Chain A
Amino acid sequence: MSALLARLVASRLFWPIVMLLVLFTINLIAFPGFFAVTLRDGHLFGSLIDILRNGAPTLIIAVGMTLVIATRGIDLSVGAVAAISGAVACSIILGSPEPANPATVAVAVTVALIISLVLGMWNGFLVAVLGIQPIIATLILMTAGRGVAMLITEGQIITVNSPPFKALGSGFWFGIPIAVIIAAVVFGIAALVTRRTALGMFIESVGINPEASRQAGVRARGLLFVVYTFSALCAAIAGLILTANTAAADANNTGLFIELDAILAVVIGGTSLAGGRYSLVGTLVGALVIQTLVTTVYTVGIPPIATMVFKAAVVTIVCLLQSPTTTEALSGFRRRLALRAGKGVAAS
């Protein structure tokens, strides 16, 4: 039993999960109906559902980000890519004679995703072929991307009236928010593809020791291309959900700072920014922590001015708990306890 506990505490996921439970508890105290999930008009309703739905875009981007970070990289351009994909989809729908036709929406979404693939390959090209440091390489698209989105929307906020498109953000399918379903599918595909094939091992291997991986015959260049392209694809999907939710493409604000939330989710989930071992489940927990935090701000009634400080405090606590020094101190403490217990047994 204690061994199980020890393994649990040693797990990378221990503190993020504890944090999540603490946040849930705070919410429950402030709002006793927090865990209640009801069926209304055939749709699931409740705070937990809201958290899942509102957290979906961050989670989707964080999944792509996890793989990028595992290769020792980072992708700062995801927010801009989200804005571009939203802008592209909305302008296509707006320009079409039948905005409410599902076929129009399908075309718009497909074009937006294809463009994001091109953008991801651009990042991959800069990093893998030209060897530019990932933070610089993706910074280019981060700044330029919003400009591109601006050009597409011609500086306007494009509002569309297309129920099938809006459904992507706020619709339901068998009672479950479509955004949540999309996030689950993205997460599931990423987990399956990386862990069922050798892709995950190669990503970690390149992230830990690029030269050793090269000498072992791992093709790092192709791998980086795949990873950055996937990240951009995730960003585009998230951008579509965000845009559909408000039914408006806003080049300046869609996905603003979402790269930071995504990076935070990855880090809270226990994947090191130094690359190497990654945990998609950790990222899931991280994304939930961040979204629950936002919800908590509302349920507890923290004044909007204090929101940022509150968020910062929680993130700081999680990071402190996960720091190598804390981990070391805790494991040393446990070891001494175990040693003492062992001696006690021997003496008796």
Chain B
Amino acid sequence: MTQTSVAEPVIEMQGISIAFPGVKALDGVDFRMFPGEVHSLMGENGAGKSTLIKALTGVYGIDAGTITLAGDQVSFSGPAQAQAAGISTVYQEVNLLPNLSVAENIMLGREPRRFGSIDWRAMRRRAAALLEGLNLDLDPGSLLGDHSLAVQQLVAIARAIDVQAKVLILDEPTSSLDADEVAELFRVIRSLKEQGVAILFVSHFLDQVYEICDRLTVLRNGSLVGEYLVEELLRIDLVQKMIGKELTTLDDLEQRARSVVVDESDAALFVNAEGLGRRGAINPADLPIAAGEVVGLAGLLGSGRTELARLLGGIDRADQGELAIRGKVTKLRTPRQAISNRIAYSSENRRDEGVVGDLTVRDNIVLALQADRGWFRPIPAKRRDELTQSYIQALNIRPGNPDALVRNLSGGNQQKVLLARWLAIAPRLLILDEPTRGIDIGAKAEIQKLVFNLAENGMSVLFISAELEEVLRLSHRIVVLRDRHVVADLENDGLTVDSLLALIAEGSSDDEVPDASAGMPLAGAAVPAVPAVPAVPAVPAVPGVPGADRPHDSAASDTDPTPTDPTGDPR
């Protein structure tokens, strides 16, 4: 730390302002990074993190301020220039070409050449060397699209570090990685750091930030809050700086969730899957869900949790077993059939399978409801507007403009629009696949409260999240998957993150329970370690779902992570 403080910053941005029509996205923000440090940019959605990164990488032009790179003032007119100057970026959503090979993706745009044409052999060799450096056992000649999202993310990183980068920007690099992959990534980050690369690490996982970062900069509403050394900033203070208000917890929520008694007699079962499976995706699994029950699916990425949920949502067809809805055996062939049975599946892949970016907020919200009615029975304009307005208010969607295009909204707000779409069909079973991934803690808490209130009003919820803490807090019952098998189906009574972790990890005998310090985001789920739940203003009064507005204890001190913090962070 000390030597980085005296060194010259590799990047210095001063007084950066960027305005979009009607919005001041950044207002006089200062930001700097030193060589050989891992720096985090913190803030809620809409704080200006993405805008600042895009200003740094030349995607946006700046209206005011200066950018200095290694002592020289620079002005980038595009990402290519920034990259040539040594600033590489890996974005949250993988922006690679699934129809090309891994090697081609890594080397795209800087293919080694020989006699003017591409030297394929050299290209493969170099890609293979890079992958080996990342300890990735991957055939460089295989198609990128054949690999999981997590592997694609690592390929994107391989691509970024191939450029002789002075600054490497990782925007939410861990949001789709499991614990082992995160540990792998951190190993890579540390070795790059030793080579003197300045790394900007943006993540919503506080534990990860505390584990890997040296310094952080906090933004709020487009303004700079401050720059801090990570070891000198308490988490609780960090969260307060990010959201700008006092904290309360959702502990009472958790207590109530666990105390609810759900009628699980056969008569009350809303869906009952028996031996439901699909070859190559999920082995035959039993999954009964009672009305008003929240069932959590826990498991690593690729354990089959999404695959099982997709069968229930009619997204993929089951080829084994049967599914009974309200006691009646039903074959779901299309999402449409699931929807007409009042089952809604909200995809984990918000951008590609969720929102329709170029349509307005209003159209996105009414889409599923309208599709269920058929095209020739349009929802009257007035009803459409009322519906949209009520969800915008209930879910606190910002900006609250029904005519805004969804692609211009932040990730958290897109997620809320998607939720509104599913709530609008008044589902009896709502399947939420990673509804809180990549969104800020405020929106996260709002969505958690919503899930809880929906269940209290008789809706069944199947909840999938990589954050075990979240699963534990919300679920009445937890189903654990491993290697495409259901390995446990437990009442959420006395379960802890550790016991869940043991179930998830069990069987792979050479692997112990993921080490707490490396096992983000799973280990980060240890309940007391994450006081990162802000006060949520009044529970959204979702139409048809009377909001249960209860006061919370503002007992932030109860959640002081120090005594039980398993991550052993330096605080």
Q: Which residues of A contact B61 (CB under 8 A)?
A: 332
Asked if B347 lies at the interface with its beta carbon under 8 angstroms from chain A, I say yes
Tell whether, in the assembled complex, residue B315 and residue A215 are in contact, meaning their CB atoms are under 8 Å apart. Answer: yes
**Please, what's the 1-or-0 string for B344-371, where 1 marks a CB less than 8 Å from any CB in chain A?**
0101000011111111000100011011
How many angstroms between the C-alpha atoms of A198 and B374 in the bound complex? 8
Q: Which residues of B contact A202 (CB under 8 A)?
A: 370-371, 375
Q: Which residues of B contact A332 (CB under 8 A)?
A: 61
Q: How far is the CB of A83 from chain B (nearest CB, A)?
A: 32
Tell whether, in the assembled complex, residue B378 and residue A216 are in contact, meaning their CB atoms are under 8 Å apart. Answer: no
* Total residue contacts A-B, CB cutoff 8 A: 88
Q: Which residues of B contact A216 (CB under 8 A)?
A: 335, 339, 356, 367-368, 371, 421
How many angstroms between the C-alpha atoms of A216 and B347 in the bound complex? 10
How many angstroms between the C-alpha atoms of A336 and B20 in the bound complex? 11
Tell whether, in the assembled complex, residue A198 and residue B353 are in contact, meaning their CB atoms are under 8 Å apart. Answer: no
Which chain A residues in 181-220 approach chain B with CB under 8 Å?
Answer: 196-199, 201-202, 204-205, 208-209, 211-219
Q: How far is the CB of B9 from chain A (nearest CB, A)?
A: 28
Tell whether, in the assembled complex, residue A276 and residue B371 are in contact, meaning their CB atoms are under 8 Å apart. Answer: no
Which chain B residues in 354-397 approach chain A with CB under 8 Å?
Answer: 354-359, 363, 367-368, 370-379
Given contacts A197-B375, A202-B375, A335-B19, contact A212 B353 (CB under 8 A): yes
Tell whether, in the assembled complex, residue B375 and residue A199 are in contact, meaning their CB atoms are under 8 Å apart. Answer: yes
Partner of A205, one of B367, B373, B374: B367
How many angstroms between the C-alpha atoms of A276 and B377 in the bound complex? 22
Residue in chain B with minimal CB distance to A195: B378
Partner of B63, one of A201, A213, A223, A339: A339
Partner of A215, one of B340, B353, B358: B353
Asked if A166 lies at the interface with its beta carbon under 8 angstroms from chain B, I say no
Q: How far is the CB of B468 from chain A (nearest CB, A)?
A: 27
How many angstroms between the C-alpha atoms of A215 and B336 in the bound complex? 7
Tell whether, in the assembled complex, residue B363 and residue A215 are in contact, meaning their CB atoms are under 8 Å apart. Answer: no
How many angstroms between the C-alpha atoms of A211 and B356 in the bound complex? 9
Tell whether, in the assembled complex, residue A205 and residue B335 are in contact, meaning their CB atoms are under 8 Å apart. Answer: no
Asked if B21 lies at the interface with its beta carbon under 8 angstroms from chain A, I say yes
Partner of A204, one of B335, B345, B359, B372: B359
Tell whether, in the assembled complex, residue B352 and residue A212 are in contact, meaning their CB atoms are under 8 Å apart. Answer: yes
How many angstroms between the C-alpha atoms of A216 and B363 in the bound complex? 12
Given contacts A216-B335, A217-B336, A335-B19, contact A204 B371 (CB under 8 A): no
Q: Which residues of A contact B379 (CB under 8 A)?
A: 198
Q: Which residues of B contact A217 (CB under 8 A)?
A: 334-336, 339-340, 368, 371-372
Which chain A residues in 301-348 approach chain B with CB under 8 Å?
Answer: 332, 335-336, 339
Partner of B367, one of A197, A199, A201, A276: A201
Asked if A146 lies at the interface with its beta carbon under 8 angstroms from chain B, I say no
Tell whether, in the assembled complex, residue A197 and residue B354 are in contact, meaning their CB atoms are under 8 Å apart. Answer: no
Tell whether, in the assembled complex, residue B357 and residue A208 are in contact, meaning their CB atoms are under 8 Å apart. Answer: yes
Task: Pick from B335, B355, B371, B374 the residue with the most CB of A within 10 Å.
Answer: B371
Q: Which residues of A contact B359 (CB under 8 A)?
A: 201, 204-205, 208
Q: Which residues of B contact A223 (CB under 8 A)?
A: 375
**Please, what's the 1-or-0 string for A214-249, where 1 marks a CB less than 8 Å from any CB in chain B?**
111111000100000000000000000000000000
List A residues at the B interface (Cβ < 8 Å): 196-199, 201-202, 204-205, 208-209, 211-219, 223, 276-277, 332, 335-336, 339
Contacts beyond the supplied A201-B370, A208-B357, A216-B335: 10 A-B pairs with Cβ under 8 Å:
A201-B367, A205-B359, A212-B355, A213-B356, A213-B367, A215-B353, A216-B339, A216-B356, A216-B371, A218-B336
List B residues at the A interface (Cβ < 8 Å): 19, 21, 61, 63, 313, 315, 334-336, 339-340, 345, 347, 352-359, 363, 367-368, 370-379, 421
9 contacts between A and B (CB under 8 A): A202-B375, A204-B356, A204-B358, A212-B355, A214-B335, A215-B354, A217-B334, A217-B336, A339-B63
